[in-house]
Amino acid sequence: MRTETAVATLLVATSAVAVLGSASQQATTTEPPRATVALVEAWPDGRVNYELTSTRRAVMWTPQFPRLRGYTPPEGTPPVYAVQFARALVGGEIKVDVSVLLGSATPPGVAVTTVTISRGSHVVVNALTKFGVQPVTLSMVDVGTLVPFLPTVVSVSPQVEIASVELLTAPYPGYRITLRNLGSKGVSNVHLQSYRGQDKALSALKRTDDGRPMMEPGGSYTFDMNLTSGRGDVNTASGTWTPQPIDVIEFDSVRWDDGTSDGASPFPQIEPIVESDAGRRLQLRRIVDALRATIAEQDPGVDLLAAAKLRLESLADAEPDQLQLAKSAMRSTKAIVSADIVRFERQRTTPRPDVRQWLTALLARYETWLARLSPP
């Protein structure tokens, strides 16, 4: 399994498993040159992953890795759920930040090491053994040119039209897909599953990141589907690799803004959480901005606590065009920070904690909360 977040999205490439994507990926107009090299991740169990690499930083994580026998995590520390690689081409070398996700795919990860891969080098990441993971060997290969044919694209709902499909070549090969909502209701999200022959390939859950419908009635939504990842094995020719094109892309589930669905969602229990989390993330970003602005105040005559209350109270409870679950999450998150302020005001300790120090600690707490709800 591998996850691409090159353009603020989570696309998961698997041989048989579909996995949730993250925030919606919007098409971009400025693209770096075509990727001509790939990062190779070779595990001791024989599994080899290839990841196209360009000057644009990209992240993938995998829960499929060999563990050290007999390893026990320190008391109170969750076991490693996934190993994560963030990569970018710097000059003629690949810079790779290796980290681990503990307990689940929820960020932030724990940094392991940073390595630089040059042409012809093979770097063994032994630092993973501290977390009970067998070492991975990283190297670089050249990538052959791929100009994929346009895939067949189908929608489970006649109300969601495939408006256009275009080929992409840089920085990664792939497809740019535009959907159009022909229905009378807004679209909350759509799930896609792609295939190479009989085998499942990339999958994703497409939606907005702010709790609004991804498509209002009559609206459209465009995203890029990049072919950046692929499997290899000991029989793969050394020195080169080319990603394989997609044959069929199926939009197999559509969730409408009233909670009804067309098709069978692979994540029916997750979709309400997705909508709530989107609203909570938006409100947390606003809360974080308000706290940062308050802490940045340098005028000694400013009552920082009063300034923080004013900024936080002025935040919108919710947005009128959001999904209902997102609105509810927006309101509850604002109420939580308001309760934090009230509890601090009622604090009777002597001496009373410094307001700026307390607001700084509160900011750090909310920044961490936001990071946990944000895609890796």
Q: Check residue 27 and give its pLDDT.
A: 43
Q: Check residue 347 and give its pLDDT.
A: 82
Alpha helices of 125-236 — where are they, by DSSP H?
Answer: none
Task: Give 30's pLDDT tier (boundaries 50, 70, 90).
Answer: low
Q: What is the mean pLDDT of residues 77-87?
A: 94
Q: What is the mean pLDDT of residues 349-357?
A: 81
The yes-or-no verdict on residue 20 having pLDDT over 90 is no
Q: How far is CA 9 from CA 3, 30, 376, in A?
A: 9, 17, 9
Q: Check residue 353 and give its pLDDT.
A: 78
Per DSSP, the three-state class of 184 is coil
CB 206 within 8 A of CB 189: yes
Q: Check residue 18 and give its pLDDT.
A: 30
Q: What is the pLDDT of residues 171-191, one digit of tens each?
A: 889 999 999 999 999 999 999
The whole-angstrom separation of Cα 310 and Cα 331 is: 16
The yes-or-no verdict on residue 159 having pLDDT over 70 is yes
The whole-angstrom separation of Cα 71 and Cα 66 is: 12
Q: What is the mean pLDDT of residues 142-147?
A: 81
Q: What is the pLDDT of residues 287-317, one digit of tens each?
A: 999 999 999 998 888 899 999 999 999 999 9
The whole-angstrom separation of Cα 203 and Cα 194 is: 6
- Of 19-33, 92-106, 204-218, 254-268, least confident by mean pLDDT is 19-33
- Percentage of the residues of the chain whose pLDDT score is greater than 90: 71
Q: Check residue 31 and give its pLDDT.
A: 60
Q: What is the mean pLDDT of residues 44-69?
A: 93
The whole-angstrom separation of Cα 169 and Cα 162 is: 21
